[in-house]
Structure 1
């Protein structure tokens, strides 16, 4: 089983690290945007850092492995649907090691502690079957399939009842 991961707040010192993560076309391939430039990251940093103080704003955490250090990001925010959405991404060198599931477990522990009454949404492109399986492992069920014209991929939307209605027990094993 993968190590237990922690989440930490993004800091201004993480600007270069975040750029290194998000400039990789493979990492960004299954996200809602393409590879990012350093200028784009710089333009987003103030809003990202302020998000922790606003209940509905994007909260972007750095996912931390006890031996490997910073390996990716996890996000929680109120989406366009009005529901809270979750997501994560890992640096490519950490793929295929069970760390996506561990990152999701860390994020879901945070949700359980801070928003246990909130139903959740998540999206994964159909070609990213591993992410879909991870979501299902944490109680998400696919509710919609639609074509994402801007990314030219089929997008799958998932929904999960609040953690206080469907506890996390057993979903992390």
Structure 2
């Protein structure tokens, strides 16, 4: 019998991945309301307001934990630094997506959080593969994915970015356990 965790917690060397709560909404909104952060995501609007963060927290609380999980990425000294999620899509394997607040870029938090989330997905979801992608104008995200063990599939596909208000090309990647 598989036990479904509704609010899993993942610990890494410097980070804790945990369910977002109402107390996180203002910090999420402050970090996400940055055009350069939002435009590198598919689903995040810009501007990103407190109402958007509160709706995100409620949406995460109501999602089916067998098909989707989202974590606040919390640094031991800095508090929340971003968000990471794993979710079912039309692809054969679930997808990973993440963002980090601009003031925390370049510190390895995305890679560390992604590695922790992949270990969790392997143990709890019994996943042996995960998909991800990055916009072609965001090579830094590609480097994060590569450091976490993702490989390029050779596929590029258009995807609509809410913050950009238009389609942008996404390079697809896969992680295999």
Give TM-score, length-normalised by structure 1.
0.80
Q: Alpha-carbon deviation of 1:82?
A: 4.6
User: Match for residue 157 of structure 1?
Assistant: 172
In structure 1, C-alpha distance between the alignment counterparts of 2:146 and 2:138, rounded to whole Å: 13
Give the secondary structure class of the aligned counterpart of 1:153.
strand
Contact 2:42 2:160 in 1 (8 A): no
User: Match for residue 55 of structure 1?
Assistant: 66
Is 1:111 the counterpart of 2:126? The answer is no
Contact 1:3 1:65 in 2 (8 A): no
Distance 1:116 1:139, change over 3 A: farther
In structure 2, C-alpha distance between the alignment counterparts of 1:48 and 1:149, rounded to whole Å: 22
Q: How does 1:9-28 map to 2 (within 5 A)?
A: 9-28=19-38
Contact 1:6 1:106 in 2 (8 A): no
Q: Alpha-carbon deviation of 1:16?
A: 1.8
Distance 1:149 1:45, change over 3 A: closer
RMSD: 2.2
Q: Return 5+ residue gaps in structure 2 as ranges.
A: 1-11
Q: Return 5+ residue gaps in structure 1 as ranges.
A: 164-173
In structure 1, C-alpha distance between the alignment counterparts of 2:35 and 2:56, rounded to whole Å: 19
Q: How does 1:1-173 map to 2 (within 5 A)?
A: 4-33=14-43, 34-35=45-46, 36-51=48-63, 53-56=64-67, 58-143=68-153, 144-148=155-159, 151-161=166-176, 163=177
**Higher RCO (CA-CA < 8 Å; seq separation 6+):** 2
| Aligned positions, number | 159
Contact 1:6 1:65 in 2 (8 A): yes
In structure 1, C-alpha distance between the alignment counterparts of 2:62 and 2:158, rounded to whole Å: 32
In structure 2, C-alpha distance between the alignment counterparts of 1:49 and 1:123, rounded to whole Å: 25
Give the secondary structure class of the aligned counterpart of 1:107.
helix
In structure 1, C-alpha distance between the alignment counterparts of 2:28 and 2:168, rounded to whole Å: 25
Give the secondary structure class of the aligned counterpart of 2:87.
strand
Give the secondary structure class of the aligned counterpart of 2:72.
strand
